[in-house]
Amino acid sequence: MQVLSSLKVAFIKWVSRLYPMAKRNLYQFHGGIFPQYHKELSLSHPLKRGIIPKTLVLPLRQHLGIRTEAKVKVGDRVLKNQCIADTEKGLSAPIHAPTSGTVVAIEPRYKPHPSGLKKLSIIIETDGLDESIENVLAVDGAHPDSPVALKEIVHQAGIVGMGGAGFPTFAKLPEKRNTVKALLVNGAECEPFITCDDMLMQTHADEIVKGAQIVGHALGVEQIICGIEDNKQKAIQSFSKACADTEIQVHPVMTVYPMGGQTQLIQELLGIEVPSEHHAIDVGVLMMNVATLRAIYHAVTFGNPLISRFVTISGLGLEEPFNAEALLGTSFLELAEMAKPKQPIDYPLVQGGPLMGTALHHNNVPIIKTTNCVLANPPKPVETVMPCIRCGECMDACPINLLPQQLYWHSRNHEFDQVEKLKVFDCIECGCCSFVCPSHIPLVQYYRHAKSTIKDIRQKEAMAELAQKRHEFKLDRIAREKAEREARIKAKKAAVKQKTAQKPQAKSSAAAAAAAKAAALKAKKPSATTEGQPVLSARDKAIAAAKKRTQKAKPSTGTESKAPSDKQPDARQKAMEAARQRRNQAKTAEDSTDKAAPKDSKSAQAAAKRAAAVAAAKKRAKKTTEKQESNDDT
Amino acid sequence: MMAPISSPFTHNNNSVRKVMLNVQLAALPALFTHIYFFGFGITIQWTLAMFTLIAVETLMLKLRSRPVWPYLTDFSGLITVTGLVFCIPPEAPWWIIVTGITFAIIFGKHLYGGLGYNPFNPAMLGFAFLLISFPYEMTQWTLPTQVSGHFLSFMDSFNLIFTGHIHTIPLDQITGATPLDEVKTALSTGVPVPVTLEGESFNRFRIPYGWAAVNIAFFIGGIWMLMSRSIRWQYPAGFLITMIILSATFNWFDPENYAPVRFHLLTGGLMLAAFFIITDPVTSSTTPLGRFIYASGIAVLVYVIRNWGGFPEGIAFAVLIMNMFVPFIDQYTQPRVVGYRK
């Protein structure tokens, strides 16, 4: 078997000399591209350390999650490693002072983000003394035995995923031991130009290995595998040396973009696919970037927070590209100027690599925890975008095996339901499709637009639903209140009537007699008038009806009133009947209130249900807005 | 500072133009072979086609208010020209190719929205139009030199194309039916296939003079296109495999009535179709499995039309029919996305 597979590899390698894309059969995931790497540019110059710029700009959010709150005031003197911003409100990572100095301002500043917006930042004027607080996290240097203990340290150290995603690392760690079967160390670094992980592995392999051991120990991991692309031979050597006496395996992997993607590297190293809409942790895999592991080592062993990182400053526009261990908050432009630009940097710098990086609106932005590369590539003439010829290059290059060409077609036509059906949300935006498109169509931009539009539509739908629920709730409440009011009034009326009925008969009989007399008089009057005027006026009719109602209480009045009613017996009878009924109703007011009570409780139940639904909807809406905010801000 | 765009910021420098030029390059061996066997007629037709293409395409782009230069220089029209020029008789009157190209470019391409939007293969649409409209002119093929004993000079071809006659040779000596036609006609008069293959149009390997060589030249060009990724392997693979299976099966059961595999593979425009016509990405299926099904479908139709249809060569109709099924095929052959169940 071993022989066969090595023969197959040798054959494919031979074929790939004639047909380069045959190389796609040498790894586990679909597609992939082979760009020009230009890695030698920054590797040919020595690593720079100890750069302390005059000012450091530290955005209050350098991670995925919510913004931290400044714990210092303008004018405060801060020491290296001192925690200057934190929050308890939600997912976040605290921020520490990278060196000693004075806080000169807390104001919105530009940060490396595609939005190009200013975000609240702490500005420190450094004093060059680099005075520090040692072991600020107060650790004893022992490896934590439980995931929770490790999570605590990692959280306090402000460590986030340093490969680019910036997800706070503590939140990625599971709470229980043994949930993670395999810890994968991501040293693939597949983006062109970037060499900071390579440099880190060459210079600090032992620290990364110790970091991996700490995590493995705390989580009870069975297997630790490190994947390094085979174009980093020096890194593989130094890493293998550092792993010599440990259980960690070093796996050189094929040099292909996007090997460093989480899903891709898991496929390559373990041969398993992470199911859609699941995380790696669901299949028992935890992946960590080499830089993150080193930061964990420093936090656990020395109690040092994350205040600096390896950054590549490279690009075709620079004379002397280099790698640096830069303090967080150092300006992009300052670092680029140190690399001797070939031409003035009047073009946008890029944070990250050429395939997934972010072009900057403003070049004077700080290095943050997720910045792995400052790229200075002078702009090239823009190619005309031609129509899609459906050649399928994009499909062959897609590591997720999507149909980019059809996604593009439907995105362009705003057929977003189709776009969703074609699984646009599984797109990792790696840029392979755009890279190979002979028509130079900016495919990824179309997918980004489609994704955000679909999210927008969903949010609007949720809002509409919420509004509808609110409206229904309101109508319901009005109806309920009306019913309650009516019931109350009826009850009151009934009570009054009962009272009047029970009052001493003497008074009432006198009054009744008087009334009867008057009624008789009045009754005569209409009967007299009817002779002259055959039709009763409406008013008279009403009066007669009212009279009848009052007289009906006593049986005697009935006979009295019957006389004038002879003329229109049917109508009168009906009116009387109706009046009786009304009266009965009033009498049984108690019954009616009893009936109303269960109805009320029913509606109250419904109202409670609705209220709960509304609350849930509100919560959802809040969540989505929060999410969006966090997306905006990262 | 210019407004930044979003990633990616790099490209492999491929372009539509390069792809199209590659296809042109791959057609050159076949062109030279064609000249060797059938004379210079094809070069004149090619030139005529080019001028027509430039004129019609410029006019249509102007009418559609599109920029002329980028769309004229994407060279996609060249593929249409190649597809059509090899399909018409080399000494056909000049207005045949002019009409054909004009129809193909206007009705096959620009009326649908130009490059990338046409549902039917323009070259095959033009060819079908010519075959139906001018059946006589379209079937008067120049015989290969080995058969007729004449090699037409450039001037002879020129005169034939523009005036319709030349003084030196009687016309019926140099033109005749194609081998496909010959076999079909012979069958209808009761002559079995093996006897026809003994005829003077066929060499000692029982394959037709000229035609076989041109087909082999197309095959070589096709291999080059596969290696340079100008075309996808599923098209020729699906097409040729299905063709071989069908012709081998029928020939096995009834060699008297059904021609052998080598005859089917090396006559007519089979290799042209396999590598240059059905590989047109715009009008064909895009999913890997879909491409295979699409190509196989064309092969089945070609075989059916060749053996039981009214036309001697069925490639144009087969391609046009399968073009109609493309959306359907694409819909049901979508590949499995990573992270979804197998």
User: Smallest Cβ distance to A387: which of B6, B115, B229?
Assistant: B115
- Interface pTM (ipTM) of the complex? 0.89
Residue of B6, B71, B336 to mutate, interface with A, max A Cβ within 10 Å: B6
Kindly report, residue by residue over A203-224, the tens digit of the pLDDT: 999 999 999 999 999 999 989 9
Chain B residues in contact with A445 (beta carbon < 8 A): 5-6
Residue B229 near chain A (CB below 8 Å): yes
> Helices then strands (H, E): number in chain A?
19, 16
**What's residue A624's pLDDT?**
54
Per domain, the residue ranges of chain A are: 137-304, 393-459, 572-634
How many whole angstroms separate alpha carbon A191 and alpha carbon A259? 9
Q: In this predicted model, which residue has the larger pLDDT, A581 or A465?
A: A465
Kindly report, residue by residue over B142-183, the tens digit of the pLDDT: 888 777 777 778 888 888 888 877 777 777 777 777 888 888
- Contact state of B1 with A347 under an 8 Å Cβ cutoff: yes
Chain A residues in contact with B114 (beta carbon < 8 A): 387
User: Smallest Cβ distance to A403: which of B8, B227, B334?
Assistant: B334
Q: What average pLDDT does this structure show over A162-184?
A: 89
- At residue A314, φ and ψ (nearest 5 deg) are -145, 180
Residue of B73, B225, B338 to mutate, interface with A, max A Cβ within 10 Å: B338
Closest alpha carbon within chain B to A349 = B4
**What's residue A521's pLDDT?**
66
A366, β-bridge pairs: A331
**Distances, alpha carbon A475 to alpha carbons A90, A607, B66, in Å:** 37, 11, 57
**What's residue B160's pLDDT?**
83
Which of A91-95, A243-247, A596-600 has the lowest average pLDDT? A596-600
Kindly report, residue by residue over B108-146, the tens digit of the pLDDT: 999 999 888 999 999 999 999 999 999 888 888 888 877
Comparing C-alpha atoms, which of B330, B306, B329 is closest to residue B316?
B306
How many whole angstroms separate alpha carbon A533 and alpha carbon A41? 116
How many whole angstroms separate alpha carbon A311 and alpha carbon A313? 6
**What's residue B239's pLDDT?**
96
Long-range Cβ contact pairs of A9-14 (< 8 A, separation 24 or more): none
- Contact state of B11 with A278 under an 8 Å Cβ cutoff: no
Kindly report, residue by residue over B27-54, the tens digit of the pLDDT: 999 999 999 888 888 999 999 999 999 9
A285, β-bridge pairs: A182
Confidence of residue A75 (pLDDT cuts 50, 70, 90): very high
How many whole angstroms separate alpha carbon A58 and alpha carbon A119? 10
**Distances, alpha carbon A574 to alpha carbons A524, A545, A546, A580, A584, in Å:** 21, 10, 13, 10, 15
Share of chain B above pLDDT 70, in %: 99
Q: What average pLDDT does this structure show over A353-357?
A: 92
Q: What average pLDDT does this structure show over A459-463?
A: 95
DSSP annotation string for A370-418: T--EEE--PPPPPPPPPPP----HHHHH-TT---HHHHHHHHHTT-HHH
Kindly report, residue by residue over B61-101, the tens digit of the pLDDT: 999 999 998 888 888 899 899 999 999 998 889 999 999 99
Query: What is the side-by-side order of every strand in the sheet holding A69-70?
Result: A69-70, A83-86, A95-96
Q: Residue A137: helix, strand or coil by DSSP?
A: coil
Closest alpha carbon within chain B to A30 = B338
How many whole angstroms separate alpha carbon A311 and alpha carbon A332? 10
**What's residue A557's pLDDT?**
44
Comparing C-alpha atoms, which of A201, A263, A207, A246 is closest to residue A228?
A201
How many whole angstroms separate alpha carbon A89 and alpha carbon B338? 36
Q: What average pLDDT does this structure show over A136-141?
A: 87
Chain A residues in contact with B7 (beta carbon < 8 A): 350, 352, 354-359, 429, 431, 444
- Contact state of A361 with B12 under an 8 Å Cβ cutoff: no
Q: In this predicted model, which residue has the larger pLDDT, A514 or B158?
A: B158
**What's residue A138's pLDDT?**
86
Class of domain A137-304: alpha beta
Chain A residues in contact with B226 (beta carbon < 8 A): 19
Q: Residue B129: helix, strand or coil by DSSP?
A: helix
A83, β-bridge pairs: A96
How many whole angstroms separate alpha carbon B180 and alpha carbon B268? 7
pLDDT of residue A113 exceeding 90: no
Confidence of residue A311 (pLDDT cuts 50, 70, 90): very high
pLDDT of residue A334 exceeding 50: yes
- At residue B37, φ and ψ (nearest 5 deg) are -90, -35
Å between B68 CA and nearest CA of chain A: 13
For residue B53, count CB atoms less than 10 angstroms from its CB and return exposed for 0-12, middle for 13-18, buried for 19 or more.
buried
Buried b (16+ CB within 10 A) or exposed e, B290-325: bbbbbbbbbbbbbbebbbebebbbbbbbbbbebbee
Confidence of residue A595 (pLDDT cuts 50, 70, 90): very low
- Contact state of B10 with A435 under an 8 Å Cβ cutoff: yes
pLDDT of residue A329 exceeding 90: yes
Which of A379-383, B123-127, B242-246 has the lowest average pLDDT? A379-383
**What's residue A552's pLDDT?**
64
pLDDT of residue A597 exceeding 50: no
Chain B residues in contact with A400 (beta carbon < 8 A): 337-339
Å between A90 CA and nearest CA of chain B: 30
Q: In this predicted model, which residue has the larger pLDDT, A340 or A549?
A: A340
Chain A residues in contact with B14 (beta carbon < 8 A): 393, 436-438
B79: which residues sit within 8 A by CB, 6+ positions away?
B20, B23, B24, B123, B276, B280
How many whole angstroms separate alpha carbon B215 and alpha carbon B208? 10
How many whole angstroms separate alpha carbon A596 and alpha carbon A248? 74
pLDDT of residue B253 exceeding 80: yes
Å between A192 CA and nearest CA of chain B: 10
Q: In this predicted model, which residue has the larger pLDDT, A602 or A33?
A: A33
Which of A268-282, A405-419, B128-142, B176-190 has the lowest average pLDDT? B176-190
User: Smallest Cβ distance to B15: which of A388, A438, A445?
Assistant: A438
**What's residue A500's pLDDT?**
86
Closest alpha carbon within chain A to B336 = A401
Contact B307, B250 (CB under 8 A): yes
Mean pLDDT of chain A: 85
- Contact state of B335 with A33 under an 8 Å Cβ cutoff: no
Comparing C-alpha atoms, which of A236, A257, A263 is closest to residue A165?
A263
**What is the residue type of A368?**
I
pLDDT of residue A320 exceeding 60: yes
Closest alpha carbon within chain A to B15 = A438
Chain B residues in contact with A351 (beta carbon < 8 A): none
Which of A184-198, A566-580, B133-147 has the lowest average pLDDT? A566-580
3-state SS string for A410-468: HHHCCCHHHHHHCCHHHCCCCCHHHHHCCCCCCHHHHHHHHHHHHHHHHHHHHHHHHHH
Confidence of residue B207 (pLDDT cuts 50, 70, 90): confident
pTM: 0.80
Confidence of residue A78 (pLDDT cuts 50, 70, 90): very high
- At residue B142, φ and ψ (nearest 5 deg) are -65, 135
Closest alpha carbon within chain A to B338 = A400
User: Smallest Cβ distance to B115: which of A389, A401, A435?
Assistant: A389
- Contact state of B335 with A401 under an 8 Å Cβ cutoff: yes
Residue of B337, B340, B341, B342 to mutate, interface with A, max A Cβ within 10 Å: B337
Å between B136 CA and nearest CA of chain A: 35
Chain B from 260 to 299: CB within 8 A of any A CB: 281-282, 284, 286-288, 291
Neighbours of A65 (CB within 10 A): 22
Mean pLDDT of chain B: 88
Q: In this predicted model, which residue has the larger pLDDT, B270 or B202?
A: B270
Neighbours of B98 (CB within 10 A): 17
- Contact state of A192 with B10 under an 8 Å Cβ cutoff: yes
Closest alpha carbon within chain A to B118 = A389
**What's residue A545's pLDDT?**
73
Chain A residues in contact with B4 (beta carbon < 8 A): 348, 359-361
Q: What average pLDDT does this structure show over A83-111?
A: 92
Between chain A and chain B, the number of residue pairs with CB atoms below 8 A apart is 153
pLDDT of residue A426 exceeding 60: yes
Chain B residues in contact with A274 (beta carbon < 8 A): 339
